[in-house]
Structure 1
């Protein structure tokens, strides 16, 4: 499904998405925008058993792209004076982050992952004890918790009581979902709404997104793809995890959206229509952190930059869930955009030392990003 346009190389984009499918992803779909010009495309299947094709309008779990939405909601509350970005989280949530750490960790440190709080997932999912390093992980917990309804307070407690991974404000920080579950509780504390209600009313609806929302059950509403998890070759063939209770990440990574909605959201955000220009400037001030892929990156307030040497800078976020992944990026001037979704995750095999090995999918995706963002 494509829209050939003179300002976008539709043939190159068609070929690029097809190459990702040929490299091993069952199905993917994307939207690329250049001003008012739009290309959308898809390749492969949404269901490997039936052969149902993917289309560019499918709904999809977008994982940690949710963090940009949550961060924007927190910035809005800071604009209204209900939250101080440099205020200690212990002022708002003394029972969840008590004592000296509650006094030392600020709201800003939670948003940019410099709080020193570790990831709770290895404690909630025992077979992921080595997470984020894949070497000592196994996929059993993914099946065991498919329908588990987690209490966010219990998840936060797992992260807060675990050994810290750094000092508050120290860099490099460490990417941690514990931070964003705390931000969700902060939103609830200052707005008297659930975080999901606050984000829906103040971010999703303000941006005019029609196909974006938080799941209320394990199934994805509307047309969607199945999501295939390989877990570094230990699930072969990859297993469908599209039906899953997302309470294990909540407002940290549970949103369902479309590539068109993601592009609209980031376009509205960078245009200053979700948060004010001062807040947007703060959202683009980066600090060094270690990502879940164990790479050193620059991370700001729910955004991070993506750039190639000598090329323009793009801002956005990526996200993964069990079986699915997504990436949304927008050029700093707000004109060029990419949003892409794939229905396979952790396709890499591990070597004897537990290090993920390169896969043809990696280069095929990188080529798609280059064509989409830089032409």
Structure 2
């Protein structure tokens, strides 16, 4: 079944019962556990919660449940950088050494720009490495995390190609700290979450109240199974395992927590000028998308055109985590799907809601 949001929701005031039935079916089949929210401005036009936030105690997911966002955090980091550019304190074309003069790799400090970091074209090595795993318990600050990868050679010449980089957004967060004069978490709370009215968004640990625990599908060897294909349709408790032991505290590249209503509030704050002025808002939402790949990628946003409507947003996925967030830059609609199962649980729902083929939503 494919439900196209422009036909089923946007052009109609009636609730699409078929979508509600389909989401419920995905929940009962073990393919989805989480929430779906479609809003026009601040007004929900469709919302549904299915599955359990905490299976051990039978706590159900609700529209106020907090979910791990995965890489959606990168979009907050992108907005933070854009705010500092707008304030004249950062330049997209300046080198990272301008803001981090003691960066351990002098060549990288000289040749990598903020734009390279924002577009995944810097060539930084991944921070997930044997060194990271061995030092994981001793990493407490962004400076600690940057030191894991900063001295290693670049993987390619900055600007020569694009390769998805969590390290790049960690480094952007470190630059936000240095230029903004405050820890990253404090900066985004003061300058993004609070102005947008995102009262349930942050980096609090998983044990915080009304926060969904993530459940990953495990194979016969006990290791998590990550798949871009269909989620197994009959996932029983024996096949699921909490992902708590795998989680680190969130950082500028991903891993914070939020609710579906808070993400709608974020979209509205971007559209209405609460977070950025008109010129920078236009640049972020319309002027940074390039390349021939589909969907096109900008500064921690990706673009999808569905039925003549243009959506931008971001997503995240890991074992026990799948989050998707899209909104119309030039319209009123926002779509949020958050899940405490791994990919493609939320992505598959989003693709049906938007009417987007698998090849576009990957």
Contact residue 232 and residue 346 of structure 1 kept, 8 A: no
Contact residue 112 and residue 287 of structure 1 kept, 8 A: no
Alignment partner of 1:339: what SS?
Answer: strand
Specify the alignment match of 1:316 in structure 2: 313
Contact residue 42 and residue 54 of structure 1 kept, 8 A: yes
Is 1:184 the counterpart of 2:176 in the alignment? no
Q: Which moved more, 1:193-202 or 1:331-340?
A: 331-340
Q: Deviations over 1:190-217 (max 9, x none)?
A: 12211111111011111111111122xx
Contact residue 220 and residue 256 of structure 1 kept, 8 A: no
Specify the alignment match of 1:28 in structure 2: 34
Contact residue 220 and residue 243 of structure 1 kept, 8 A: no
Specify the alignment match of 2:302 in structure 1: 304
Alignment partner of 2:54: what SS?
Answer: coil
Contact residue 282 and residue 301 of structure 1 kept, 8 A: no
**Cα–Cα, structure 1 residues 362 and 213, in superposed 2: closer, same or farther, change >3 Å?**
closer
1:160 to 140, 150, 158: 150
Alignment partner of 2:195: what SS?
Answer: coil
Specify the alignment match of 2:355 in structure 1: 370
Structure-2 separation of matches of 1:241 and 1:253? 15
Question: Residue 174 of structure 1: CA displacement?
Answer: 1.1
Alignment partner of 2:50: what SS?
Answer: strand
Structure 2: runs of 5 or more not aligned = 1-8, 225-237, 357-362
User: Root-mean-square deviation (CA), in Å?
Assistant: 3.0
Contact residue 17 and residue 28 of structure 1 kept, 8 A: no
Q: Give runs of aligned pairs for residues 1-375 of structure 1, distance below 5 A.
A: 7-25=13-31, 27-35=33-41, 37-38=43-44, 39-96=46-103, 98-124=105-131, 149-171=139-161, 173-215=162-204, 218-230=205-217, 234-235=223-224, 237-242=239-244, 246-247=248-249, 249-284=250-285, 285-288=288-291, 297-308=295-306, 310-346=307-343, 363=348, 366-370=351-355
Structure-2 separation of matches of 1:363 and 1:232? 21
Question: Residue 189 of structure 1: CA displacement?
Answer: 1.0
- Corresponding pairs, count: 329
Structure 1: runs of 5 or more not aligned = 127-140, 290-294, 348-359
Specify the alignment match of 1:134 in structure 2: none
**Cα–Cα, structure 1 residues 230 and 96, in superposed 2: closer, same or farther, change >3 Å?**
farther
Structure-2 separation of matches of 1:231 and 1:304? 30
Question: Residue 250 of structure 1: CA displacement?
Answer: 1.4
**TM-score, scaled relative to structure 2:** 0.80
Contact residue 28 and residue 342 of structure 1 kept, 8 A: yes
Contact residue 53 and residue 65 of structure 2 kept, 8 A: no
Specify the alignment match of 2:233 in structure 1: none
Contact residue 16 and residue 364 of structure 1 kept, 8 A: no
Structure-1 separation of matches of 2:40 and 2:155? 41
Structure-2 separation of matches of 1:89 and 1:232? 42
Question: Residue 361 of structure 1: CA displacement?
Answer: 8.2
Alignment partner of 1:174: what SS?
Answer: coil
Contact residue 94 and residue 102 of structure 1 kept, 8 A: yes
**Cα–Cα, structure 1 residues 193 and 252, in superposed 2: closer, same or farther, change >3 Å?**
same
**Cα–Cα, structure 1 residues 123 and 163, in superposed 2: closer, same or farther, change >3 Å?**
farther
Structure-2 separation of matches of 1:188 and 1:48? 38
Structure-2 separation of matches of 1:362 and 1:273? 28
Alignment partner of 2:59: what SS?
Answer: coil
